[in-house]
Amino acid sequence: MVFLTTALWLRSRLTDRYWRVQEVLRHARHFRGRKNRCYRLAVRAVTRAFVKCTRARRVKKRSMRTLWINRITAASQEHGLKYPAFIGNLIKVQLRMSCCDADPLQKPAQLCQVELNRKVLADLAIYEPKTFKSLAALAKRRRQEGFAAALGDGKEPEGIFSRVVQYH
């Protein structure tokens, strides 16, 4: 095709504009009133809907995390632990399960390792109560070990002055 003038050489925007308008109107088809027919109103409504959709994805993540935490809290309270104690002691333990059929020549750090996050713990609390009970027992035992290590042998270290000073 040969363009004899600059005006003919410049491409026509009409078809591009048509398809852009149709795309916006396609996204606005389910809106009520003139927002699904008038382009100017449809652009505003579609833009606003996309912004709300983006915000909703973030809110959904937050609400799901809150739901998981509530489920773990309820399940851990059944076993006599509060949520911070349960999660804190499981993180200290760093639960990892290795695959049974992994290559024995691989290093242990390269084996298939799975850390239990809040979503998995919440699912275990609902669908696998015995497994969750064993995790709670593990966290409780780890907590008791921490208390015993913090107390030591029960004697005050030498060279430390306590607030109670006995005068003779």
The band of 107, judged by pLDDT with boundaries at 50, 70 and 90, is very low
Residue range of the domain that includes 30: 17-91+116-151
Q: Give the total number of structural domains in the chain.
A: 1
Per-residue pLDDT, 144? 85
**Amino acid (1-letter code) at residue 55:** R
Q: Out of 58-67, 89-98, 131-140, which region has the weakest mean confidence (pLDDT)? A: 89-98
End-to-end CA separation in angstroms for the chain = 113
Query: What backbone phi and psi angles, to 5 degrees, belong to 30?
Result: -85, 0
Q: What is the CATH number of the domain that holds 136?
A: 1.10.1900.20
**Is 133 within the bounds of a domain?**
yes
- What gap in Å lies between CA 138 and CA 90, rounded to an integer? 8
